Amino acid sequence: QVQLVESGGGSVQAGGSLRLSCAGYGYAYSGYCMAWFRQAPGKEREGVAAIGSDGTTSYADSVTGRFTISQDNAKNSIHLKMNSLKPEDTAMYYCAAYFSAWRCYGGSLYSSANFPYWGQGTQVTVSS
């Protein structure tokens, strides 16, 4: 059974940084696309960043240049380093994945429906 477990959320002032982690358990696939989505109260879930097992990455325009997604294959985990945080980054952040793919298909971040596996989420709050 696939499990994704997020950690690293918290509260920070605008301009600060946080690092989120997502550890994956219960799968033996060597190919994957793993991503971070976020959802603020009253808003739709939106894709933030994605990384394929081949190392290719993609980002939402709103976070490009501020967020960096990375992977640690030895630990079956991905990370999201968030710099220059803004109050509008406040949201619940979710880790998501699909497997049997060496890279993320184009447009994966456009819809959460592309990802069948999800973590429980970790809250990020940025105060002004």
pLDDT on residue 73: 77
Per-residue pLDDT of 69-78, as tens digits, reads: 999 977 789 9
Rounded-to-integer distance, Cα 98 and Cα 113, Å:
10
What is the percentage of the chain residues whose pLDDT exceeds 90?
Answer: 83
pLDDT on residue 28: 78
Residue 47: Cβ-neighbour burial (10 angstroms; 0-12, 13-18, 19+): buried
Per-residue pLDDT of 24-62, as tens digits, reads: 998 877 789 999 999 999 999 999 999 999 999 999 999
The dihedral through the CA atoms of 26, 30, 32, 38 has a sign that is: positive
